[in-house]
Amino acid sequence: MEGFDFVHGETVRFRDVDAMGHVNNAVFLTYLEEARIAYLLPFGADVSNMILARVEIDFRAPLRSGDRLEIGVRPAGVGTKSFQLEYEVRSGSTLAAQAKTVLVSFDYETGNAVEVPQTWREALAA
């Protein structure tokens, strides 16, 4: 997938499809989540210590049951306590969606946002 060093694969499940015969918009959040976790785990990010603070999705084309998906993930910026990721969801040559997320590094014991760990920062900048 052009412009994305990391690509996660998914297949549209029957349960993902709504009465109109295409993937329900809300299901795209699950596709992004699965791709995000697969992207972050290899560099040691503890996905239980982050909060999804913002999602922006532009829907471009419908997806249907059985479609094989490629979800590209790439870093788009790193702040002190948060970072941004960009995504593309494709089925073959069809661009189905483009998305951006903001994730906040979070300490659940204190209930506060904390600095993005240096190891995450380095991996996101690479």
Rounded to the nearest integer, the mean pLDDT of the chain is 95
What is the value of pTM for the model shown?
0.94
Which residues lie closer than 8 Å to 14 by C-beta, 6 or more apart?
65
pLDDT tens digits along 47-76: 888 999 999 999 999 999 999 999 999 999
pLDDT > 70: percent of the chain = 100
CA dist 15 → 9, 27, 28, 38 (Å): 17, 9, 13, 22
Give residue 44's pLDDT band: very low, low, confident or very high (50, 70, 90): confident
* Model pLDDT, residue 97: 98
* Model pLDDT, residue 47: 82
Q: Which residue ranges form the domains of the chain, and what is each CATH number?
A: 6-125 (3.10.129.10)
pLDDT tens digits along 1-14: 999 999 999 999 99
Q: What is the DSSP letter of 72?
A: E
* Model pLDDT, residue 64: 97
Beta bridge partners of 82: 104
